[in-house]
Amino acid sequence: MISNLQTIICDKLNVLEKNIKIYPLSYCKIADIELQMVAINNIKNIAIYGKGLSFDAFEGNTVAEGFKLCPLIHTNRLALNKLLDYTCPQAFGKNISTFGAGDRLGLASPGHIRSISRSLAKPILAQQSKRELELTGRTYEDVLDSVSFAVFQEGYKDGFGADGDHLKEEAHIIDALNCGYTMITLDCSEKIGKGVEKLSSAEMENRYISIPADIRKRLEDKYLARTFNINGVQIKYTKLELIKNVLIYYEAICFIIFIYKKYLSPLKREKDFEISIDETESTTSEYGHLFVASEIIDAGVDVTSMAPKFIGEFQKGIDYIGNVADFEAQLGIHAAIADYFGYKLSIHSGSDKFSVFELIGDYTKGRLHLKTSGTNWLEAVGTIAERNPTLYRQIHKCAQKHFTEAKSFYDVSADISKVPDVDSVSDAFLKEYLTDTHSRQLLHITYGYILRDPEIRTSIYDTLNENEDLYIHRLETHIGRHLELVGLYNY
Ligand SMILES: [Zn+2]
């Protein structure tokens, strides 16, 4: 059945004469008004028909009596949120699998929704670290705006989350929470003791003595002279093991408790709180993970998920590097600890880790948060390689120019001398750059520099808007492979 609104859109906008795309899944009728996403010359608007307060809350151009075209601006996102609950983010707690899929450009969420909505996991669609916001020139508000509009466009009603990712500073936590983010990932990397593992036992003991005696006594009484039985895994601290973990994690533990009590606990709404101890020099041992978890939970922190640093390398945009058997052994212990305390195990830099996804699915049994961030950017570049070779070549050259600089932000091992010269390959070859680990990393970490070039930035958005269906399809396939291997597809 053709809705009133669709008839009006066709009638008033002269669909046959203009480049107009109507998004059928977005259509909804609520009380006196009808809404639908429509793109005119690749620029999206919410077409709205009706009257009353809700209608008036949307800002736009009146095309005819009771019919407006409303641009995708912040005010209209707030109006949409008021009218349609499902366009607001929500928290999911400890027992529902979640899949973090940050969207660097603000164009990937429709593809993420189509893929993740077919799985047992809920999507965390808004997810940007402060570093990513700075590199892409975006804000928390703008990231959430794009996601809410995408949820509306897809008519997706099953809930999504918004993660203020890898936050280290109070001001950023306040910003994200004020914008309505439902999840905070606290990055403890700056509070984690450095160089501790290189110290001799005498040096460790020396440092340990500077911690107040009453704290030392409490910790020794709690952790020594007992064996922790963590779902079949026996963990026993020697004095030295305890000292080492106190030196590495005690400050981070105090920081987590402080942030939780000051900002998360007083919030009157549901929230997810993730602890990230993954961005450190050394891998997280079972002693470290258990120590952090036990201290913060005993202090009343409600942890939704914890991200330890795993053995091997979780580099951006490429498969796991390392010994899979060692990874499996460690994963088993971390999953057991997470399970014992009842929170989700979180895997960061989770994109493209195809050789370990099945293990991750087996051991976590779905009590999992899998966080990916830049893989949607690579799919965007892949779409451009297929549809706009000239632009791809510009992007590639810009990436090469800034690779060395970009490496200071990201841990990658790419050797770009192994990347074929972009001037010597045919247009048909360009998409192959997205299948090679060296060129994937080259394109992955330089996005900030590429997006800073205004001409390239505009062309990227234009090309992706013109080729939205291909971009959605690529994302659906790529993210779908992740979910299938982790065992989260329910059919
Ligand atoms: Zn991380």
CATH code, domain carrying 298: 3.20.20.70
What is the Å distance from ligand 1's center to 470 Cα? 29
pLDDT of residue 281: 82
pLDDT of residue 2: 59
Measured CA angle at 469 (ends 97, 92), to 5 deg: 15
Given a cut of 90, whether residue 400 has pLDDT beyond it is yes
**What three-state secondary structure class fits 298?**
helix
Given a cut of 90, whether residue 9 has pLDDT beyond it is no
- The C-alpha atoms of residue 176 and residue 169 are separated, in whole angstroms, by 11
Closest by CA position to 103, among listed 63, 147, 54? 147
205: CB partners within 8 A, 6+ apart: 243
313: CB partners within 8 A, 6+ apart: 320, 321, 322, 411, 413
pLDDT tens profile 291-349: 999 999 999 999 999 999 999 999 888 999 999 999 999 999 999 999 999 999 999 99
Contact 132, 106 (CB under 8 A): no
- The C-alpha atoms of residue 7 and residue 481 are separated, in whole angstroms, by 39
Which is more confident, 130 or 167? 167
pLDDT of residue 146: 97
Do residues 341 and 403 both lie within one domain?
A: no
pLDDT of residue 289: 98
Looking at the domain assignment, is residue 141 inside a domain? yes
Contact 379, 476 (CB under 8 A): no
- The C-alpha atoms of residue 337 and residue 322 are separated, in whole angstroms, by 22
pLDDT of residue 322: 96
Instruction: State which of 83, 105, 133 marks the end of a domain.
Output: 83
What is the Å distance from ligand 1's center to 221 Cα? 32
Do residues 364 and 393 both lie within one domain?
A: no
Mean pLDDT of 84-91: 98
Q: What are phi and psi of 30, to 5 degrees?
A: -140, 125
What is the Å distance from ligand 1's center to 207 Cα? 28
pLDDT tens profile 15-34: 666 788 999 999 999 988 99
Looking at the domain assignment, is residue 490 inside a domain? no
Do residues 172 and 78 both lie within one domain?
A: no
Q: Hey, which bits of 55-171 come out as E strands?
A: 61-64, 67-71, 98-101, 122-129, 161-167
Do residues 399 and 337 both lie within one domain?
A: no
Contact 40, 9 (CB under 8 A): no
Do residues 99 and 69 both lie within one domain?
A: no
Looking at the domain assignment, is residue 216 inside a domain? no
pLDDT of residue 225: 85
Beta bridge partners of 490: none
Mean pLDDT of 101-111: 94
First-to-final CA distance of the chain = 30
What is the Å distance from ligand 1's center to 115 Cα? 23
Do residues 422 and 365 both lie within one domain?
A: no
pLDDT tens profile 361-388: 999 999 999 999 889 999 999 999 999 9
pLDDT of residue 16: 60
> What's the one-letter identity of residue 403?
F
What is the Å distance from ligand 1's center to 59 Cα? 39
What is the Å distance from ligand 1's center to 391 Cα? 31
What is the Å distance from ligand 1's center to 307 Cα? 7
Given a cut of 80, whether residue 491 has pLDDT beyond it is no
Looking at the domain assignment, is residue 199 inside a domain? no
Q: Which of 69-83, 126-140, 279-293 has the lowest mean pLDDT?
A: 126-140
pLDDT of residue 15: 66
- The C-alpha atoms of residue 81 and residue 85 are separated, in whole angstroms, by 6
Do residues 304 and 359 both lie within one domain?
A: yes
Domain that holds residue 29: 4-83
- The C-alpha atoms of residue 115 and residue 105 are separated, in whole angstroms, by 18
The percent of the chain in helix, strand and coil, each rounded to the nearest 5, is 50, 20, 30
Given a cut of 80, whether residue 109 has pLDDT beyond it is yes
Do residues 452 and 348 both lie within one domain?
A: no
- The C-alpha atoms of residue 398 and residue 378 are separated, in whole angstroms, by 15
Measured CA angle at 162 (ends 350, 190), to 5 deg: 60
Q: Is the dihedral of CA 470, 482, 404, 133 positive or negative?
A: positive
> Which residue among the candidates 274, 379, 386, 468 is catalytic per the annotation?
274
- The C-alpha atoms of residue 345 and residue 338 are separated, in whole angstroms, by 6
Looking at the domain assignment, is residue 413 inside a domain? yes
What is the Å distance from ligand 1's center to 480 Cα? 22
Do residues 55 and 126 both lie within one domain?
A: no
To which H or E segment does residue 256 belong? helix 239-259
How many residues are present in the chain?
491
What is the Å distance from ligand 1's center to 276 Cα? 6
Instruction: State which of 60, 83, 106 marks the end of a domain.
Output: 83
- The C-alpha atoms of residue 461 and residue 468 are separated, in whole angstroms, by 10
Residue 488, by phi and psi: left (phi above 0), alpha (psi -120 to 50) or beta? alpha
Do residues 98 and 171 both lie within one domain?
A: yes
Q: What does the DSSP 8-state code read for residue 311?
A: S
Closest by CA position to 72, among listed 47, 53, 103, 46? 46
Q: What does the DSSP 8-state code read for residue 421?
A: P
> What's the one-letter identity of residue 323?
N
Do residues 397 and 341 both lie within one domain?
A: no
Which is more confident, 412 or 85? 85
pLDDT band at 153 (very low <50, low <70, confident <90, very high): very high
Looking at the domain assignment, is residue 256 inside a domain? yes
pLDDT band at 490 (very low <50, low <70, confident <90, very high): low
Mean pLDDT of 1-13: 75
Do residues 467 and 323 both lie within one domain?
A: no
Given a cut of 90, whether residue 460 has pLDDT beyond it is yes
Number of domains in the chain: 3
Instruction: State which of 374, 390, 411 marks the end of a domain.
Output: 374
**Average pLDDT over the chain, rounded to whole?**
94
- The C-alpha atoms of residue 481 and residue 475 are separated, in whole angstroms, by 10
* pLDDT > 70: percent of the chain: 98
Looking at the domain assignment, is residue 489 inside a domain? no
Closest by CA position to 354, among listed 473, 443, 440, 447? 440
pLDDT band at 11 (very low <50, low <70, confident <90, very high): confident
**What three-state secondary structure class fits 121?**
coil
Residue 427 annotated as catalytic: no
Looking at the domain assignment, is residue 204 inside a domain? no
Taking each helix axis as running N to C, give the angle between helix 454-466 and helix 375-387, from 0 to 180 degrees, rounded to the nearest 10.
80
Beta bridge partners of 70: 46
Q: Is the dihedral of CA 296, 301, 305, 307 positive or negative?
A: negative
Residue 165 annotated as catalytic: yes
Torsion of CA 244, 250, 253, 254, to 10 degrees: 180
- The C-alpha atoms of residue 321 and residue 329 are separated, in whole angstroms, by 15
Look up residue 163 and give its two tokens. 């993660």
- The C-alpha atoms of residue 11 and residue 417 are separated, in whole angstroms, by 57
What is the Å distance from ligand 1's center to 371 Cα? 8
> Which residue among the candidates 142, 165, 295, 386 is catalytic per the annotation?
165
Residue 142 CA: distances (Å) to CA of 78, 85, 370: 12, 19, 23
